[in-house]
Every structure is written in C-alpha cells, then in structure tokens.
C-alpha cells in the first residue's frame, strides 16, 4: 500500500486589512510591510497560528470606526484572536511575534513607530506574551509564517529597493472601462 504523497504548500498572501488563521501544516502565510505591522500569533499546543496586516493602530480620537475597519490594528487583532479561538487555540497560550513598523519616508512622520507602539501595548493589555519583535527602523520587510508550526522568516528589504513615496493619482492611460452584461 502506497502512502499518500505529501500535500504541496499552500501560500496565502496576507494583504493590508486582512487577518487569517490556520492549523493546516501545508499553509504558509506571507506579507510585505513598510510602515504597516503584522502580528504572527501561535498556540503551541493547539498548533494553530495566524497573521494580520494593519495600516494604523487605531484612529486618532478613539473613534468607534476602528472596531469594524480593516485598516486598524484594533479590529484586526480581535479578528485574528477570535479566528484562532474558533480553531481550538486558547488566549492564555498565545505567543506573538511582531514585524514591520518601518519609518520609510521621513516626510510622512513616524507612522511606523506609532503602529509598533500600538501593537506592543495591545499585547500588554491583553496579556499575550510577546516572544519576539522586529519593528521600526527604516527598511521594509517580507515575512513568511507557517501557522501550524509557528516558524517565521523575516527578510529585510534594502532601503534602496523599498518605495519611499505614496503613489499619486493613477495615470489616465491605465484607467480601463467596465463592460456590463
């Protein structure tokens, strides 16, 4: 009797404003960060992990919109934790690794540092152990995370390769029409 062939890796790209959790050993999550922050959470007993990618920690002035807006860490941290709990994780066993929060463009202020502060403070308030962080600085990062094992690889992107300006308006020659049927 032949053993089943190993399953091929499943790569999930975590985009800005997303949070995903998985216990599938074939899954590898990946994201690229500038001033955004990604949190990788892992429960070593349940072998469940997840990643989020947020643009800002919370809106200025404590607006309630952060509770339902995917751009904000306040919302995405809760989504990630709840997804993991639904898959058998326990909050008291969660371990966190934080990445990103780079200050790539001095003209934009210290947005990355503010995101890093938010992430650290959220973990502290929620009683989640921070196992590691690679935050702030002036470089972008690529993070690859295997949620079922908790393994993470973070590569820094050379400052010369990282974008330093926000894109301007979309060039008119790239704007396409929509055909309805």
Catalytic residue list = 36
* Cβ atoms within 10 Å of 78's Cβ, excluding its own: 16
Distance of CA 135 to the CA centre of its chain: 12
Sheet containing 151-157: order of strands: 10-13, 27-33, 140-146, 151-157
* Cβ atoms within 10 Å of 21's Cβ, excluding its own: 25
**Rounded alpha-carbon distances, angstroms, from residue 157 to 33, 68, 119:** 9, 31, 21
Supply the angle between the helices 73-86 and 111-126 in degrees, to the nearest 10: 40
Residue 17 tokens, joined: 């404003």
């Amino acid at each position: 009797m032949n053993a089943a062939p190993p399953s091929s890796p499943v790569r999930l790209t975590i985009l800005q404003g997303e949070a995903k959790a998985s216990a599938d050993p074939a899954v590898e999550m990946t994201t690229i960060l500038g001033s955004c922050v990604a949190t990788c959470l892992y429960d070593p007993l349940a072998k469940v992990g997840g990643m989020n990618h947020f643009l800002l920690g919370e809106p200025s002035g404590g607006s309630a919109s952060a509770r339902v807006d995917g751009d904000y860490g306040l919302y995405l941290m809760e989504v990630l934790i709840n997804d993991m709990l639904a898959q058998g994780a326990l909050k008291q066993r969660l371990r966190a690794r934080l990445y990103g929060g780079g200050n790539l463009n001095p003209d934009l202020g210290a947005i990355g540092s503010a995101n890093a502060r938010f992430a650290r403070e959220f973990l502290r308030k929620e009683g989640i152990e921070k196992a590691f962080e690679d935050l702030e600085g002036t470089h972008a990062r690529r993070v690859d995370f295997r949620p079922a094992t908790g393994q993470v690889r973070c590569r820094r992107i050379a400052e010369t390769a990282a974008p330093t300006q926000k894109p301007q308006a979309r060039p008119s020659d790239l704007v396409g029409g929509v055909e309805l049927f």
